[in-house]
Structure 1
Amino acid sequence: MKYKHLAVALLFIFVQGCANTSGSSANLENIVIAEPMTVNYKSEIALARLTEVIHRAEISDVQKAQLYYDRGVIYDSVGLRSLARLDFNRALRLKPDLIEAYNFIGIHFTQLQEFNQAYEQFDSAIELSPEHEYAFLNRGIALYYGGRPQLAADDFSTFLSKQENDPYRLLWLYLAEKEVDGDSAKTNLKARSLKVQSNVWAKQVIALYLDELSLDQFVTNLTQGIGSNKDLTDRLCEAYFYLGKFYQANGDNRVAANYFKLALSTNVYEFVEHRYAKLELDLMRDSLSTNAR
């Protein structure tokens, strides 16, 4: 489809401009990206039906808790985080051992930079289910953004041990380890990447971080295997976030911020990369505000 090739061509120009213009931010007016995801009508219908059942049906507290949780998940998937959080809390009041609700609330606290409260939520999820692997991922992310990279790396290591060929698990562990020891982190990433199949797209992010793939090649390969706008939007959400982290690591926060904004523009609310692109921007603004004082 033509829009895909145009998006890549213009993104290529964007990246080249970033690489060749010292200290300048990208001109976003020259960028064409995939059409942002819109709310699926099925989600709207599901929200209406769940709301009707919650308020009209005669059901047990346990059943109502599950319905609140299910509605919260849909609210979260369309970006209505405050409404989602209200439903998750309602679900926990009715069913205090609803593990996934703790996990979601912890994620939301992380996004709000309420890190201690986030740790408590993830701790609760892990206490209830020590094998709940995504609680380790999400607690690791909270620890990473909360300035505790070694503890974050410990949680990411636990998460990675559950599926050692998952490139995204490798990448988050690398990001944490890099804050502790950059050289060691890169060595570890290279060794671990051997378990990731070469046909998995995200391995190209790893190759970029290991300086085994040029920025030009990375951008050129972005649409390989893409068959729909949704596929493209999903991939761009991930790519923009990791490009933001790439530029951030190289000290160019202005370009990094533009990439985080591009990740947000995809509206892929469920993706980890979308959730934390906003937090990255918030932290950048906080840092600028602090330095300006």
Structure 2
Amino acid sequence: MEDILRPIYQERASQSNTLGVLLIEKKQKLSHITDSFDVILLVVVKEAERPVFIKHYTYDNKKAAMHIIAEEQLQEWLLLGTNRKIFEWLHDAKILFDRNEYVANLKTELREFPFNGRKIKMGLEFTKLIRRYVDGKALFESKQFLDAYNHVVHSLHHLARLAVIENGLHPELTVWHQVKKIEPEIYKLYEELVNSEETLEKRLELLFLASEFMIHSRTSICSVHLLEVLSGKEHWLFNEIMNEKELIPYSVDLVVLLEYLIEKHLIDIVNIETKGHGVYHRCYQVAKKLS
């Protein structure tokens, strides 16, 4: 297989813009990892007109796909977790070409998962968790139980991913398999939600109570990255937070997260006068007790 594809990847490896070429073969029982293709050629380039470019090939009644990924796009996926297969690919791949050990160093960094990287990923995962939890609870209180159930399933998934990250690992596609070993309490919550013979309303009520405790116990450590950035200034307008480079990945759910942290007394509100009588700019600062 590798011999047949060699002319294709060697052409890419000869280009100075190419950082690495990796080969991922389909595992018999896990064809979803390679999107049912027999082989994936992953080519990482320094720069590209398009962040992702994909070509499909056929050979010997088999099929292959070449994914050409810009380094910036790859780093974004690794940070935000928006392409979870990429972790599997990098973990399982055979390195065919590696310029200046770029791929080897990347794999080492993923394996060791430095705390700063974990800190950011915990913050982002926690933000998604809070959004799902808050929206789900609002739906539950308005007796929209099926919609609330959907949010609770997602919130438990974020909680599970968070537990994996806390333990210094990257959440894989089989996150519940990981969590069952790492934090069985969360796995048990998921089982109770799905398999319990209680009414849906009762199941949700119990889940919200249990989840609230688990979320509360993680609030401080999962807010470290956001609070560190915000401590860089006395106070912030909301738009300033939205456009701060390090905080842009939080933006979609930032309002919900800020309100939650205000409720937990980790962020204070600062009112600053405007030209309008009795109207103030609502600003945010790290709680004085923390600074």
TM-score by length of structure 2 reads: 0.29
| Structure with higher helix content | 1
Q: Which has the higher strand share?
A: 2
Query: Which protein shows a greater Rg?
Result: 2
> Of the two structures, which has the highest relative contact order with CA contacts closer than 8 Å and spacing of 6 or more?
1
